[in-house]
A and B are shown apart, each in its own frame.
Chain A
Amino acid sequence: MNDIFSFKRFWFFAKKEIFEKRLLLMGFLCVTNIIFLLTYSSGSENSEPIQYQHICIFLGIILSPSILVSFLLGSFSKKNSSIQFLTLPVSFFERWLVILFITFVIYIPTVLFSLYFIDFYFVSHFRELALEKKQIPLQVIASRFEYIGFVMNPANNMFKGYLLALIVLTGFFTLGALHFKNLSFYKTALTVFLLFVVVIFYRNIVSKFIIGENINTNINDFANAIVILKDNNRIFIASSEGVAFAINNFFKIILPVCLWLIALVGFKEKEI
């Protein structure tokens, strides 16, 4: 018997987990879709779809999978359910892989599918209304009412930033569920929030006291920054090619991979 990975065993385990957690998954999908509908419904032919597209991507593709991961591992919050989860004849790798599978292969594609559908319906509707009313020039209409596929294009830097945020946040929440025994979701959310606050605070301290100016950084560019001068002029500061390569690769590859690898070890070392 292969004690690390067996496709058959993984499939049985995934089937069991999905069936037992079907209500949780459906609940998440329902709530996410309701949020999508409410967000898009608040728009009109005069608003810019990109605003609610970003809101929906953040809520549906980043925040909700992170919360879902925490709830999927909710069995660790109680000794009773933890015992049953850990004594099932499945390897730690398969337990880890099932979380990835449910989140990234089942949940996110389903959410994306419904988001594309809702986006198509509403954006088409708003474009039709804008064309009917003829208050906005045709060229503006063409550029304003773009479908969400424009943002979700892998070539788009914004998309890469979202993807990175998704992997890092889900990684954090998986680690949190493994580390904290009770109320893991809240504790992890608080930790992530505090971490975020510390990073922003540190950045502001650095910029104010060392450089004496404000700094603007891009979510997906860790090696470069824009310094905003007091007269509102902006100076672009770029680190050297080698440093930029190291910094960007650390945040874009090493950090997310490490988070998920630590989670993998966490599954192996987990005690009740």
Chain B
Amino acid sequence: MISIHNLSFGYKKNKPIFENLNLHLESGSIYGLLGKNGAGKSTLLYNMMGLVFPDSGSIDILGYEPKSRKPSFLSEVFFVPDEFTLPAISVQKYLQLYTPFYPNFSETDFYNYLIEFEISEEAKLNGMSHGEQKKMLIAFGLATNSRLMLMDEPTNGLDIPSKSKFRKLVASYISDEKLVIISTHQVRDLDNLIDQVIILKDNEVILKSSIEEISRKLSFGVFENKSSDVLFGEETIGGKLGVVKNKTNDESKVNIEHLFGAAMNEPKVIKEIFNK
């Protein structure tokens, strides 16, 4: 569904954010795009949406080149940005004005999502808090039934119950034909939601793997303090709570926060483990 080939991009000529980045993503998955602040998560999403243009290399999404921003492409993708401004109109008016652009939009789904997020359909968008506006935008995006959904820090500004509802709705949204990419630095919010992980660091992809493969190749739990194999660990009473290379066939539950920590601490080791 998404094929990125040798992508190079930078806002300034001497400061590249990506150099020869390659990525191939298939439909039917929810990808978590992780990285520190400034790692290029949002920039990668902007490139995918055609909001910025690659310096070199190519991006192919659903057979389209995002750069050309064709209406047939844009009606198949939906982007929930981190920061946004909604017009000063009611939810119903927003629906009336924006749905004609999305042929697969489901009004029933939209109202169900609003109920789930406890947003009144009568409410005015400019009278809502940022969190409520974000929930409205997420509900609208999900109701478009777009084949590709890109979300940039979608849980920023959401309260704890809303984060859980967000996970529930996104999980129910995914199907074999759809792909969701969620970029975030709040990795805990993606627990039990994503089935694929992409980690960006220093202009490149450190890790791109399924949760299944990660649990096979890494082991998450409490390990002896002395263990030098710990890729990332937090000191606890019983030892180090963290990640080590899985030397047995036992699978453990993936802790995304620890995985992220391991990728930041030991990017070379992580790459070696997953490139085998």
Contact = CB atoms under 8 A, between A and B. Distances in A.
Interface of A: 1, 3, 6, 8-9, 12-13, 15-16, 19-20, 78-84, 86-92, 94, 268-269, 271-272
B52 A271 contact: yes
A89 B97 contact: no
Interface of B: 46, 49-53, 69-75, 77-79, 81, 83-85, 87, 89, 93, 97-98, 100-102
Contacts of A1: 71-72, 75
B73 to A, nearest CB: 8
A84 B101 CA distance: 13
Given A3-B70, A80-B83, 19 more contacts: A9-B71, A9-B100, A9-B101, A13-B101, A19-B97, A78-B85, A80-B84, A82-B51, A83-B81, A84-B85, A86-B50, A87-B49, A89-B74, A89-B75, A90-B101, A92-B69, A268-B69, A269-B53, A271-B52
Contact of A86 (B69, B73, B83, B89): B69
From A79, A89, A91, A268, residue with most partner B Cβ within 10 Å: A89
B233 to A, nearest CB: 38
Contact of B71 (A90, A269, A272): A90
A83 to B, nearest CB: 5
Closest 9 pairs (CB-CB, A-B): A89-B74, A89-B75, A3-B70, A12-B100, A89-B71, A1-B72, A16-B97, A89-B101, A20-B87
B148 to A, nearest CB: 12
Contacts of B93: 19
Given A1-B71, A89-B74, A89-B75, A80 B102 contact: no
B83 A16 contact: no
A20 B97 contact: yes
A139 B255 CA distance: 94
A27 B275 CA distance: 61
Nearest to B100: A12
